[in-house]
Chain A
């Protein structure tokens, strides 16, 4: 048992084996949230990392048990707040699967475009924050310039910039903004021009490369065993893109590549995300001119009731595989709901890959796992 007094023990006391315990977080700027890591050091070498969670635990799973199938979607926007569209999509897809609701083509295509825009926005934020953690401040402003255009599109479409709540069972809450297509095209144009700037500024940067290459190496078998998904697993050469494995919405009719890097280090995970943004642009380009006319929401009953049974829906968020598992007893609220969040599994591998490296490299290792704390705590 770990007790609280150990956390605040006098760190000048090195103990018999020369161990030093450093508390990283919960207010550390590089954890981007309230993550608390208790790092046991031997000199500068990491011996053990223990995450302490729960600083932002809201018990979303318990809350959802008392919310109806229309209401619980709004709570999920607050889990992984950078992928809120994708979280909403997962819940909407699950309810549609459970009730066999027919979703109009227009809604499917718009959902796919919005999901990909969300993925780009999330990766943009990650690149900026990651470079800032490693000491480069400029990429943050570059990344936010493009991200701003996406959040503006989101604001036009759904009125919110972060927690959207736009995707509902059956389709979309409202129709898209009249200028949606024009704005998205303007964004694609600007993104394509500017993406080379990141490449010049970050990817080719000698300091960035030497700080990330060969750091935090994760092998493919470990990635599978620890349940890693998303760019973390794909950086180690594991095929795990749910958009390819079990296509949902309009992903079965677009062409894109699943990005795989085999090095397994921090730089590989960085490269996966950069290349993924280009693939997202490719998906949006194929769909933006072909949004079908018609209804934006299918016919649904006022009160949604799932049949008795169990339902599971997987989607690919910017961080990996999000699974929603619902046990229904046939009522208007779920009997049990479980969110399999990608960040939770990705965090569990941190001790394994950072052990034995220097504490200075911990930023590069942890940064590339792309942890969002509300997603881990739920």
Chain B
């Protein structure tokens, strides 16, 4: 599948999606409430993007962006980056852990490091940090009085 064919296919399912082809891989941007339906479309036939190899979040100071790197084990040439902006004050997004089980741990990490709330996640709690840890360490405005990293 070429990038053009992928774009046509996605536009048929998610007309509001925007694209960015400046990077190495095709990047698709959607609204956070449209992410889960589009993820389900990409996971199913005929795209079969069954391998989520990276899930993370980026803090842009004005908003947070969820980033999903997808590929297909049957066709390794297809690599897609899926992105959705979430509100920084009240970050909520639907979980994708029912499509890709690896997201269960990765979303827990994003939850504790960025404070993003994943709806319908089976077991959303802290994974690496202590339970009584205050704040979200990977956000840009996080300040730790003991181990200060000035950015």
Interface residues of A (CB under 8 A from B): 1-4, 53-54, 57, 59, 61-63, 65-66, 97, 222, 224-227, 229, 238-240, 245, 309-312, 314, 321, 323, 325, 327, 335-336, 338, 340, 344-345, 347-348, 352, 377
Stretch touching chain A among B9-17, B33-41, B85-93, B130-138: B130-138
Most chain B CB inside 10 Å of its own CB: which residue of A61, A229, A312, A340: A312
Do B50 and A224 have beta carbons less than 8 Å apart?
yes
Residues of A within 8 A of B128 (CB): 53-54, 57, 377
Do A227 and B138 have beta carbons less than 8 Å apart?
no
Do A227 and B58 have beta carbons less than 8 Å apart?
no
Residues of B within 8 A of A227 (CB): 51-53, 100-102
Most chain B CB inside 10 Å of its own CB: which residue of A66, A222, A336: A336
* With known contacts A227-B100, A323-B53, A348-B104, A310–B23 Cβ distance under 8 A: yes
Q: Which of B48-65 contact A (CB under 8 A)?
A: 50-54, 56, 58-59
Do A311 and B138 have beta carbons less than 8 Å apart?
no
Residues of A within 8 A of B73 (CB): 224, 238-240
**Closest CB of chain B to A35's CB: distance in Å?**
12
Do A323 and B69 have beta carbons less than 8 Å apart?
yes
* With known contacts A59-B137, A62-B137, A338–B54 Cβ distance under 8 A: yes
Do B102 and A345 have beta carbons less than 8 Å apart?
yes
B2 within 8 A of A: no
**Closest CB of chain B to A78's CB: distance in Å?**
16
Residue of A nearest to B142 (CB): A62
Do B53 and A340 have beta carbons less than 8 Å apart?
yes
**Closest CB of chain A to B13's CB: distance in Å?**
22
Residue of A nearest to B105 (CB): A348
Residues of A within 8 A of B105 (CB): 344-345, 347-348
**Closest CB of chain B to A373's CB: distance in Å?**
11
**Alpha-carbon distance between A245 and B69 when the two chains are bound, in angstroms:** 16
**Alpha-carbon distance between A347 and B127 when the two chains are bound, in angstroms:** 12
Do A66 and B131 have beta carbons less than 8 Å apart?
no
- Among B24, B50, B149, which residue has its beta carbon within 8 angstroms of that of A225? B50
Do A54 and B102 have beta carbons less than 8 Å apart?
no
> Interface on chain A toward B: helix, strand, loop, or mixed SS?
mixed
With A229-B53, A327-B58 known, 16 other A-B pairs at CB within 8 A are A1-B131, A62-B149, A66-B149, A66-B150, A66-B151, A225-B50, A226-B102, A227-B52, A227-B101, A239-B76, A314-B53, A325-B67, A336-B138, A338-B56, A348-B101, A348-B102
**Alpha-carbon distance between A319 and B97 when the two chains are bound, in angstroms:** 23
Residue of A nearest to B127 (CB): A53
B125 within 8 A of A: yes
Cross-chain pairs A/B with CB under 8 angstroms, 11 sampled:
A53-B128, A66-B151, A224-B73, A225-B102, A227-B52, A310-B81, A312-B25, A325-B56, A325-B69, A336-B138, A377-B128
**Alpha-carbon distance between A336 and B65 when the two chains are bound, in angstroms:** 11
B119 within 8 A of A: no
**Alpha-carbon distance between A309 and B52 when the two chains are bound, in angstroms:** 21
**Closest CB of chain A to B77's CB: distance in Å?**
9
Residues of A within 8 A of B151 (CB): 65-66
**Alpha-carbon distance between A227 and B151 when the two chains are bound, in angstroms:** 32
**Alpha-carbon distance between A2 and B127 when the two chains are bound, in angstroms:** 11
Most chain A CB inside 10 Å of its own CB: which residue of B24, B52, B102: B102
**Alpha-carbon distance between A309 and B56 when the two chains are bound, in angstroms:** 16
Residue of A nearest to B58 (CB): A336
**Alpha-carbon distance between A344 and B104 when the two chains are bound, in angstroms:** 11
**Closest CB of chain A to B57's CB: distance in Å?**
8
**Alpha-carbon distance between A352 and B102 when the two chains are bound, in angstroms:** 11
Residues of A within 8 A of B150 (CB): 66
**Alpha-carbon distance between A65 and B58 when the two chains are bound, in angstroms:** 12
Do A309 and B53 have beta carbons less than 8 Å apart?
no
Residues of A within 8 A of B23 (CB): 309-311
* With known contacts A54-B130, A62-B137, A321-B53, A2–B101 Cβ distance under 8 A: no
Most chain B CB inside 10 Å of its own CB: which residue of A310, A345, A377: A310
Residues of A within 8 A of B45 (CB): none
Do A225 and B101 have beta carbons less than 8 Å apart?
yes
Residues of A within 8 A of B27 (CB): 310
**Closest CB of chain B to A148's CB: distance in Å?**
34
Residues of B within 8 A of A336 (CB): 56, 58-59, 138
**Alpha-carbon distance between A257 and B137 when the two chains are bound, in angstroms:** 43
Do A61 and B69 have beta carbons less than 8 Å apart?
no
**Closest CB of chain A to B142's CB: distance in Å?**
8
Residue of B nearest to A52 (CB): B127
Residues of A within 8 A of B52 (CB): 227
Residues of B within 8 A of A59 (CB): 137
- Among A2, A312, A347, which residue has its beta carbon within 8 angstroms of that of B125? A2
Residues of A within 8 A of B104 (CB): 348
Do A63 and B149 have beta carbons less than 8 Å apart?
yes
